[in-house]
């Protein structure tokens, strides 16, 4: 019994000694920050847009033939046509904001 008590005492002492160093390691930073762009501070909507509202928001920007990909963390990829080109649109559906547009191929 005495050997078991010593063993658990040593394990507890090692665990307690290691805990503060793990917490200190999390505070170390290289100075890189994400979320510090002016647009990152725009307020998010309380209720994000539905699929229908996303389609209407994209259509209001001049696109047609709108196809939605799977939403992920407030963002969705949208494939849509404008003029003679098909575009891939990165859309933040909680802020009603286009984050990026890539021209994919000629429409037709």
Domains with residue ranges and CATH for the chain: 39-106 (3.10.450)
Coil, helix or strand at residue 17: helix
Coil, helix or strand at residue 94: coil
> Residue 94: what are its φ and ψ, rounded to 5°?
-95, -15
Coil, helix or strand at residue 89: strand
- Is-above-0.75 flag for pTM? no
Tell which residue, 97, 100, 104, 99, has the closest CA to residue 82: 104
Tell me the C-alpha distance between 31 and 87, whole Å: 36
Quick: pLDDT tens for 44-102: 556 789 999 999 999 999 999 999 998 888 899 999 999 999 999 999 999 999 999 99
């Amino acid at each position: 019994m005495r050997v078991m008590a010593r063993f658990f005492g040593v394990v507890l002492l090692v665990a307690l000694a290691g805990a503060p160093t793990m917490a200190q390691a999390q505070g170390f930073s290289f100075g890189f920050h994400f979320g510090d762009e002016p647009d990152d501070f725009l307020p998010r909507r309380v209720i994000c847009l539905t699929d229908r509202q996303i389609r209407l928001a994209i259509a209001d920007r001049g696109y047609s033939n709108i196809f939605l990909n799977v939403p992920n963390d407030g963002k969705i990829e949208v494939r849509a046509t404008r003029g003679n080109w098909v575009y891939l649109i990165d859309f933040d559906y909680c802020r009603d904001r286009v984050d990026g547009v890539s021209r994919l191929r000629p429409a037709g």
